[in-house]
Amino acid sequence: MVEQERHIIKQLKMVLSNRLSKMFSLNICKLLTEYGTVEILEEFHFEGIFLENNAVGVRGFLNLQKAVKYFNNFNDIFLKDEFSYCFISILSRSRVVTELEELNLINRLNLSNNFKFNGCELLVGFESDNIEGNHDEFNTFKKKVELLGLLQNEILGKKRWFNLTKFEKKCWLDLAFSKGVKDSPPLNLNLIIDGNYILCEEDLYCYLGEEIYGILGYIAYNSNALADAISTLSLKIKWINFDYSRNHFDEIEDLEYLSDILKQYSSLEIV
């Protein structure tokens, strides 16, 4: 009887875990201005997210009673604190599997503390008044949710990013950045990169990050970050099939500028 109960509890935990992995998290965050750190005060799980005018809508709270009690008292408790700043952050968490490891990735959308709650749905305002920029930020967050949902169903191999759209490659780089490499030593500093896979700026960043730090490795998101990152590494790069890159690159001026950066901060051989 005890073993049967344990089995039932284990199954219930697995069901709850699977459900939570498909849900979003809403975090109440407190910025401690004196120390420049962020403290998580409370977390809520919910099922749906949408955009309404210039606010992010949240619906389907897992524990609605808790949400009602909390948000009805939010203003009185936290907004009177003159020594810190509270804001709302929305996250999705995903586990992806590469050929070598399992990665837990966080996709984050930071919002303001300006909200309206009707007892069922929560509308949270953005930090900025730039409507177009806010909508782009929201759509990028949603696209990363979709991309992660797709990637969770496979084992990621090298160059998985190559067949993504340009926008999806930007999302890939965002996710790689969220994974972080601060405490990870480079896996490889002697690189052979194939121009058949480098047809835009994002391809180069994805390729270099992957070769240096492994699948979903991050090196840079733009040319300035690339220069900063590789200036501290003793890279030796052999770029084969460079003519293919040159003949198919979406912006030839960008290719010339990026190759100049590689020549300046690494040992680059073009074949």
List, in order, residues 6 or more apart from 254 with CB less than 8 Å away.
200, 201
Q: Are residues 17 and 141 in the same domain?
A: yes
In the prediction, which pLDDT does 244 show?
98
Q: In this structure, what token pair is assigned to residue 147?
A: 């991309």
> Is 202 inside any structural domain?
yes
pLDDT tens-place string over residues 22-47: 689 999 998 877 777 889 999 999 99
Dist CA 141 CA 70 (whole Å): 26
The residue range of the domain holding 210 is 182-270
State pTM to two decimals.
0.83
Q: Are residues 193 and 150 in the same domain?
A: no
Q: Is 209 exposed, middle or buried, given 0-12, 13-18 or 19+ CB atoms closer than 10 A?
A: buried
pLDDT tens-place string over residues 229-268: 999 999 999 999 999 999 999 999 999 999 999 999 999 9
How many independent structural domains does the chain possess? 2
CA-CA-CA-CA torsion for 19, 22, 23, 24, nearest 10 degrees? 150
* Angle between helix 223-230 and helix 201-213 axes, rounded to 10 deg: 30
Q: What is the CATH number of the domain that holds 237?
A: 3.30.370.10
pLDDT tens-place string over residues 97-145: 998 889 889 999 999 989 999 999 999 999 999 999 999 999 999 999 9
* CB under 8 A, 24+ apart: contacts of 129-133: 129/54, 131/54
pLDDT tens-place string over residues 189-213: 999 999 999 999 999 999 999 999 9
> Is 164 inside any structural domain?
no
Q: In this structure, what token pair is assigned to residue 146?
A: 């979709």
Q: Are residues 8 and 116 in the same domain?
A: yes
User: Coil, strand or helix: which one is 176?
Assistant: helix
Q: Are residues 56 and 112 in the same domain?
A: yes
